[in-house]
């Protein structure tokens, strides 16, 4: 199983939207996908409109396995979250294995899934560290603004610290809400490339249907099959399957 965390310290830059739609794009390639909501805000759980009776909180607490909590959403197994997950960060802080709880829970799954996508909360708290420690790859969604590119420094230094314990961890930045007609976005993209940041060759465009799919609790792929962002999610899915 290949595990990908969608993570960055900044809020509202498309982590949850990317998680849901990339998971759908990978599933559309015939892969068995597990999608984990690792954020106490539970945006992904709201997006997929799932029950919150048994959630990832229980997995962290050791009272349920991932298989006990998953629910089907368009052919994807989703592990929902709830607000109690915010307490988990405090509960596990003193534990020796505090960074490895999610990694161990995923290891218990064996070969049940081909892919696992983890949506994280903004910030770099212990929950996000668990997600990254459990992952092979990190997708960093970022709006193409110069200030956001500078803001990446903190995140990258934490990521590089984690890389010491996980040398094979890879990352790539995905520009979200990209408008190729805006000079600001073009120059932000060029600046990121100049700074040697590893960018996906494709970008997510801001469009109403992508936001509306959320309200309809559907992947963009079924809500608006002709949307150009579907081509981007498919390209990323194919890249991640190939690597
Ligand atoms: N490509 C897009 N086009 C239009 N709207 C978008 C796009 N991507 C995300 N949005 C909207 O922007 C808002 C923030 O997106 P999203 O929730 O995915 O960000 P996030 O990084 O997960 O936020 P948080 O940090 O709070 O978890 C949502 O209302 C979402 O519908
Ligand atoms: Mg989110």
pLDDT tens-digit readout, 157-171: 888 889 998 999 999
Spatial CA neighbour of 145 closest among 181, 175, 123:
175
Ligand 2 midpoint to CA 69 (Å): 20
Residue 54 three-state SS: coil
Question: Would 79 be classed as within a structural domain?
Answer: yes
pLDDT tens-digit readout, 172-188: 999 998 888 889 888 88
Q: Are 38 and 131 in contact (CB under 8 A)?
A: yes
Question: Lowest-confidence range among 2-11, 40-49, 142-151?
Answer: 142-151
Phi–psi pair at 205, nearest 5 degrees: -90, 150
Q: Are 132 and 169 in contact (CB under 8 A)?
A: yes
- Rounded CA separation 230/243 (Å): 20
| Cβ < 6 A, ligand 1 pocket | 11-17, 39, 41, 43, 122, 176-177, 204, 206-207, 210-211, 214
Whole-number pLDDT of residue 4: 98
Spatial CA neighbour of 224 closest among 234, 211, 236:
211
- Rounded CA separation 23/37 (Å): 12
Ligand 2 midpoint to CA 102 (Å): 18
Question: Would 8 be classed as within a structural domain?
Answer: yes
Mean pLDDT, rounded, for 77-100: 97
Helix H or strand E segment including 138: strand 137-142
Question: Would 113 be classed as within a structural domain?
Answer: yes
Whole-number pLDDT of residue 179: 87
pLDDT band at 93 (very low <50, low <70, confident <90, very high): very high
pLDDT at 149 over 80: no
Domain residues for the domain of 49 are 2-133+201-242
The Cβ of residue 1 has, within 10 Å, a number of other Cβ atoms equal to 17
Q: Any idea what the Cα angle at residue 137 is, between residues 141 and 152, rounded to 5°?
A: 40
pLDDT tens-digit readout, 185-221: 888 888 888 878 899 999 999 999 999 999 999 999 9
Question: Would 6 be classed as within a structural domain?
Answer: yes
- Which CATH number characterizes residue 52's domain? 3.40.50.300
Mean pLDDT of the chain: 94
Which ligand sits closest to the CA of 123?
Answer: 1
Question: Would 53 be classed as within a structural domain?
Answer: yes
Q: Are 88 and 60 in contact (CB under 8 A)?
A: yes
Phi–psi pair at 81, nearest 5 degrees: -125, 170
Sign for the CA dihedral angle at 70, 55, 89, 151 comes to: positive
Question: Which pair of structure tokens corresponds to residue 196?
Answer: 């040697």
Whole-number pLDDT of residue 109: 96
Q: How far apart are the first and last CA of the chain?
A: 12
Domain count, the chain: 1
Ligand 2 midpoint to CA 139 (Å): 13
Question: Would 172 be classed as within a structural domain?
Answer: no
Whole-number pLDDT of residue 74: 98
Which ligand sits closest to the CA of 232?
Answer: 1
Look at ligand 1, atom 6, and give the residue with the nearest C-alpha: 211
pLDDT band at 85 (very low <50, low <70, confident <90, very high): very high
- Percentage of the chain beyond pLDDT 70 is 100
Mean pLDDT, rounded, for 86-98: 96
């Amino acid at each position: 199983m290949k595990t990908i965390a969608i993570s960055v310290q900044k809020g509202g830059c498309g982590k949850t939207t990317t998680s849901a739609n990339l998971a759908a794009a990978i599933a559309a390639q015939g892969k068995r996908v597990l999608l984990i909501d690792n954020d106490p805000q539970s945006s992904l759980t709201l997006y997929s409109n799932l029950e919150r009776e048994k959630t990832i909180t229980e997995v962290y607490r050791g009272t349920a396995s991932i298989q006990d909590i998953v629910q089907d959403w368009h052919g994807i197994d989703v592990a929902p979250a709830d607000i109690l997950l915010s307490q988990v960060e405090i509960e596990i802080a003193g534990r020796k294995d505090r960074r490895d709880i999610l990694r161990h829970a995923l290891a218990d799954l064996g070969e049940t899934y081909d892919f696992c996508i983890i949506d994280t909360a903004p910030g770099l708290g212990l929950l996000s560290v668990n997600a990254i420690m459990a992952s092979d790859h990190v997708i960093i969604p970022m709006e193409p603004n110069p200030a956001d590119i500078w803001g990446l420094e903190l995140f990258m230094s934490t990521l590089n610290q984690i890389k010491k314990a996980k040398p094979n961890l890879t990352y790539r930045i995905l520009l979200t809400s990209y408008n190729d007609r805006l000079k600001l976005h073009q120059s932000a993209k060029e600046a990121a490339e100049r700074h040697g940041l590893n960018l996906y060759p494709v970008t997510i465009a801001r469009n109403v249907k992508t936001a509306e799919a959320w309200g309809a609790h559907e992947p963009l792929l079924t809500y608006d099959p002709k949307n150009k962002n579907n081509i981007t999610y498919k390209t990323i899915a194919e890249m991640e399957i190939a690597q």
